[in-house]
A and B are shown apart, each in its own frame.
Chain A
Amino acid sequence: MKIAIPLYNNRVSPRFNHTDRLLIADIDGGEYVRKETVFAGDIHPLKRVRILNDLDVDVLICCGIDRFTALQFEYQGIDVYHGVSGDAEMLLERFMENDLEQFLMNSSGRNRCRKSRQKIRRKNCRRK
C-alpha cells in the first residue's frame, strides 16, 4: 500500500496544492518497503492528482485540500484523510497502527471510497 503526505519541512503541509514535496511511503504488513520524497512544484491540482495516481498511491494524508481536488482523488479511488496535522513520520506510524483518527481536526476529515474499477484496472495494467 502506498501512502502520500504533502510536506512542509517535516510536517504535513497546511495546503495540499501549495506544497513542493510529497512523502511517498510504500508499506506492506506494517513495515516500510520504501520511502521517497517526490518533487511536486508549482503545478495544477489536476496534475498533482495525476502524479499520485501514476505513482499508484492508495491513501493521501493531508491537512487542507479543496473539494474539487478531493473529489478528483475520490474518482481515482484514492482515499483522502484531510484535516490531519503533525509530524509526517509520526503520522505514518500512527496510520500503520490504525490510530490516525485522533489527528483529524473536527473528526470530519475522511473521504473514504472504495477503489474504483478504473483504479483497479490501471493497477492491473501496470502489473502486466
Chain B
Amino acid sequence: MDYSKNKRFNSPSGRIAIIAVFTAFAIVLSVIESILPTAALLPVPGFKIGLANIVTVFAIVTMRPSETFFIITVRCLVAGLFTGPVSLLFSLTGALLAFFVMLALLPAAGKAVSPVGLSIAGAGAHNIGQTVVAAFLLKDIGIMLFYLPFLLVSSVFTGAITGIVAIPVIDIINRKVLPGKGKL
C-alpha cells in the first residue's frame, strides 16, 4: 500500500487537512446514525448500521494506520458528546477492536479480501467489543451469549452494505477528488 505519492497531500499541513476532512465526515455520519430509529429495525441493544464505518474502511485502505486511529478516536469522542458516556464507551471499544482486526487483515486486502470482507470483519469485531463492554457494565456474561448472535448475524448485512458503499467511495476519491500519481 502506497499512500504518499500524491504531492498535494504529502506535506504535513496537507495531511492534517485531509485527516480533518475525513474526521468531520465520520462525525457527521455518527450523529446522523444516532438520530436514525435503528432500534425499530432490529430491537437489540447495540444494533447499528455503522455508517461511520464507511470512513473507517476508506481510511484503513488508503491512509496510514496512525491516521486512521486518530480519525476513529476523535470521531468516537466527539460523537460521544451527543450520545452520552455509556454509548461512548461502547462505540470506542467496538471501533478500536474493529480497527485492529481490519488492520490485521489489511495485508490480504485486494488479494484475498475486498473492502466488503474488511467491513464485515470490522463490524463483527465491533459487535464483539461492545458486547464485552456490556457484559462488564452489567457484570453478567449471559447477556453476551444472548445478544451477540443477533448482532453478529446483523453485522454480516450491515458490514456488507458499508463495504459495498466504501468500494466506489475509495475509487472515486482516488481517481477524481485527489487526482495524481498513486493513492492518498
- A and B: real partners? no
Which chain A residues have a beta carbon within 8 Å of chain B's beta carbons?
none
Which chain B residues have a beta carbon within 8 Å of chain A's beta carbons?
none
